[in-house]
Amino acid sequence: MSLMDIFRKEQKSSASVAKERLRVLVAHDRLRHNGPDYLPQLERDILEVIRKYVEIGEDDVSVQLDNQGQTSILELNVTLPDRKD
């Protein structure tokens, strides 16, 4: 193992980045078609509030609603930018 191998492992491959982006798109599509009517507006509202404090893109917020029996679970994932110290 060379020193360069260590640095290469830290970087995500373009395939894994593309796969993760596709997962986000599929999740967004499922929400819009199978989720409650208020979910897209909720996602926009959350994005608007977060943008008051930090600059993020539309793909940086993911909202998912899962049903487990009688319980609905709302999952919110926000990718925040790195802090600049």
- Whichever domain contains 67, its CATH number is 3.30.1070
Q: Quick one: pLDDT at residue 14?
A: 78
pTM for the model stands at: 0.50
Q: Is residue 70 part of a domain?
A: yes
Task: Say how far apart CA 54 and CA 51 lie, in whole Å.
Answer: 5
Q: Is residue 84 part of a domain?
A: no
Residue-number span of the structural domain to which 73 is assigned = 14-78
Q: What is the pLDDT of residues 58-85, one digit of tens each?
A: 888 888 878 788 888 888 888 888 877 6
CA 85 to chain centroid: 25
Q: What is the pLDDT of residues 9-49, one digit of tens each?
A: 555 677 777 778 777 777 766 655 666 777 778 888 888 99
Q: Quick one: pLDDT at residue 41?
A: 83
- Tally of structural domains, the chain: 1
Q: Quick one: pLDDT at residue 1?
A: 52
Q: Is residue 5 part of a domain?
A: no
Q: Is residue 83 part of a domain?
A: no
